[in-house]
Structure 1
Amino acid sequence: MPEGASNWSKESCMGYTMAAMRNLGYDEVDITKLILEMTHQFRFKTPKEAAEYYWES
C-alpha cells in the first residue's frame, strides 16, 4: 500500500462522501445512488485494492 494510505471504516468513508456531496449541492437521489454503488464496491474490493485504485488514478 502506498505511503500515506490509511485504513478507514466503510461507514466513515460513506459519511465523508455524503458530506462532501451535500456541500457540493448534489441531490439526495444522486447521493443515494453513489452510496449504493459504494456498498456494491465494498463487497468486491478489498481495502488494499481500493487504495491501489485511488493511488493509480
Structure 2
Amino acid sequence: MTWRKSSRSNGAQNCVEIALAAGLVGVRDTKDRDGGTLVFRRRQWQDFIAGLRRG
C-alpha cells in the first residue's frame, strides 16, 4: 500500500496518513506508524469525512 498524508500538513509529523486498497481505506498515525492501522470500508470513510465537513 502507498501511504500519503494531506498536503495541508505542511511537513508536520503529528498527523494521519491514509492508504487506499480494494474498496478499503487504511488510517494510521505518523508518530507511530507501526502502532496499528484502522481500516474502513470506503463508504464508511466517505460518511466519516462528510460528517467532519458538516461539523
Q: Is the TM value for this pair above 0.5? A: no
Larger radius of gyration: 1
* Normalised TM-score (structure 1): 0.39
* Normalised TM-score (structure 2): 0.40
